[in-house]
Amino acid sequence: MRLDNAFAGIVLTAQSFNPSIFTETWLDKNGILAADSLEGIRVFSPEVAQFQTKECQILVIPPKMQITFQVYNVEGDFEVQRNIAIRTIELLPHTPYQALGLNFDFFVSFPDGENFNSYNRALLGTGDYQLLQEFSSDDAKFGRYFSKDHGAARLKLDIKPVKGGPQNKDLLQFSFNFHHDVAQFDLSERAEKLIEFIRGWSSLREYSERLVKMGATLKAGGAI
Tens of pLDDT along the chain (224 residues) come to 789 999 999 999 999 999 999 999 999 999 999 999 999 999 999 999 999 999 999 999 999 999 999 999 998 889 999 999 999 999 999 999 999 999 999 999 987 767 899 999 999 999 899 999 999 999 999 999 999 999 999 999 999 999 988 888 899 999 999 999 999 999 999 999 999 999 999 999 999 999 999 999 887 655 44
DSSP string, the chain: -EEEEEEEEEEEEES---GGG--HHHHHHTTS--GGG-EEEEEE-SS-EEEE-SS-EEEEETTEEEEEEE-TT--S--HHHHHHHHHHHHH-TTS-EEEEEEEEEEEEEPPTTS-HHHHHHHHHS-SS-GGGGG--STT----EEEEEEETTEEEEEEEEEEEETTTTEEEEEEEEEEEEE-TTS-HHHHHHHHHHHHTTHHHHHHHHHHHHHHHTSPPTT---
What's residue 136's pLDDT? 92
DSSP string, 76-92: S--HHHHHHHHHHHHH-
User: Rounded distance, CA 38 to CA 54, Å?
Assistant: 8
Q: Are strands 64-70 and 97-109 parallel, antiparallel or unpaired?
A: unpaired
What's residue 168's pLDDT? 87
What's residue 146's pLDDT? 98
What's residue 222's pLDDT? 53
What's residue 110's pLDDT? 83
What's residue 165's pLDDT? 80
